[in-house]
Amino acid sequence: MATVSIKDIAREVGVSTTTVSFVLNGKAREKRISEELKDKVLSAAQRLNYRPNQVARGLRTGQSHTLGLIVEDISNPFFAHLARHVEHEADKYGYTVMFCSTENDDKKAAGLLYMLRHRQMDGFIIIPTPGMRQDLCELVAEQKPLVLVDRYFPDVDTCHVTVDNYMGAHDAVKLLIEKKYQKIGLVTLNSTQTQMKERELGYLEAMSEQGRPVTPEMTLHVPFDTSDEQTVGTIMDWLARNPEIDAIFFTTNYLGVAGLDAIRRSGRKIKEDLGVICFDDSILFRLGSPTVTAIVQPIREMGRQAVRMIIDMIQKKQDKVVKQTFAPVIVEREST
């Protein structure tokens, strides 16, 4: 099959090759090309199965039209959905996405970032590990387009996209209190990252505002690198030591999934014996019985906003640090 060129697209649409080039290189707005014409060009490119020569284009423009996306764990539904929306949005601007997982391991994260930098990424969208601060400072100092998602470092002045973790946790605990649960426990990660600290703070302050004292026994901090089976066992042991707990707030979906298993193995029943609410959703929460109340993040909007920020930085339409915070939504189900 013959290779499709921009001349073929220009002939198909009835415009100049220059116009096609501007659209495919993300310069339609800059060159005052109408949205209607831009859509025609992009549709023709897709219909003709146009595949740009990235190496040649990179040598010509100094850009690879590739974004590096570093997430924590691509198998986690939150990060998988985020990657899908980032990829979909980037495609609208003619960018491809190279993504990889750190497993929240600092050494692995450093190696992945090194690899992406040497593959000439035009910009980076990163869910950072706790030890990435210095690497991110170097990217900022070099004026590399960078957007952090889900978490950030307060002293690293760069664009980021997050949700209001404090509000989500605070509202979740308030809901449990309104449902008349008396002894609400917290299961979270043993982490200093912003999203985890904000969720724990939301829990603590909601409990304090309602005159509910929190003893050390009521909170369980699970190390990140604990295996699934170990996490289930840890939660089971915690439940056995605290039989008076009648509701649990899990701060991540994978802790929530492990918690459901631990509750089942402990012989206790969700809703009848324990109220459950979890930060982040999962298909298991929607399809299991009983269904589980979740604090849902607007993943699609977060991914789209991260891409728009990075594209504006690449095209030098944005030189200010933008910090976007979305509001999460509680989806109430049978577990509360």
Reported as half-sphere exposure (CB side, CA atoms, 13 A), residue 184 has a value of 31
Average pLDDT over residues 259-276: 95
Q: Over the stretch 168-196, which tens digit does the pLDDT of each residue have?
A: 999 999 999 999 999 999 999 999 999 99
Cβ contact 275:246 at 8 Å: yes
**Which pLDDT belongs to residue 59?**
45
Task: Report how far apart, in Å, the C-alpha atoms of 42 and of each of 51, 89, 109, 219 are.
Answer: 12, 13, 35, 53
Q: Give the start-to-end residue ranges of the domains of the chain.
A: 6-51, 59-162+299-326, 165-296
Residue 51 has pLDDT above 80, yes or no: no
- Establish whether domains 59-162+299-326 and 165-296 are of one fold: yes
Cβ contact 125:69 at 8 Å: yes
Q: Which two tokens stand for residue 270?
A: 């969700």
Strand 293-296, strand 329-331: pairing: antiparallel
**Which pLDDT belongs to residue 61?**
52
Cβ contact 177:206 at 8 Å: yes
For the entire predicted model, the pTM comes to 0.80
Q: Over the stretch 313-336, which tens digit does the pLDDT of each residue have?
A: 998 877 789 999 999 999 999 999
Portion of the chain with pLDDT greater than 70, in percent: 96
**Residues 6 or more apart from 264 whose CB is under 8 A from it?**
none
How many whole angstroms separate alpha carbon 334 and alpha carbon 336?
6
Q: Over the stretch 135-157, which tens digit does the pLDDT of each residue have?
A: 999 999 999 999 999 999 999 99
Q: How confident is the model at residue 255 (pLDDT cuts 50, 70, 90)?
A: very high
Architecture in CATH of 6-51: Orthogonal Bundle (1.10)
Cis peptide before 130 (omega within 30 of 0): no
Portion of the chain with pLDDT greater than 90, in percent: 78
Q: Which two tokens stand for residue 120?
A: 């000439």
* Burial of 49 (C-beta count, 10 Å sphere; 0-12/13-18/19+): exposed
Residue 56 has pLDDT above 60, yes or no: no
Q: What b/e string do you get for 166-185 counting C-beta neighbours within 10 Å, with b at 16 or more? A: bebbbbbbbbbbeeebeebb
Q: Which residues pair with 66 in a beta bridge?
A: 96
Cα torsion through 252, 254, 256, 260, rounded to 10: 180
End-to-end CA distance of the chain: give it in Å, rounded: 58
Q: Which two tokens stand for residue 278?
A: 């979890």
How many whole angstroms separate alpha carbon 36 and alpha carbon 178?
51
Integer-rounded Cα Rg, in Å, for the chain is 23
**Residues 6 or more apart from 29 whose CB is under 8 A from it?**
none
How many whole angstroms separate alpha carbon 276 and alpha carbon 279?
10
Average pLDDT over residues 84-99: 93
Average pLDDT over residues 236-242: 97
For the domain covering 59-162+299-326, report its CATH number.
3.40.50.2300
**1-15, 118-132, 216-230, 267-281: which range is least confident on average?**
1-15
Q: How confident is the model at residue 130 (pLDDT cuts 50, 70, 90)?
A: very high
For the domain covering 165-296, report its CATH number.
3.40.50.2300
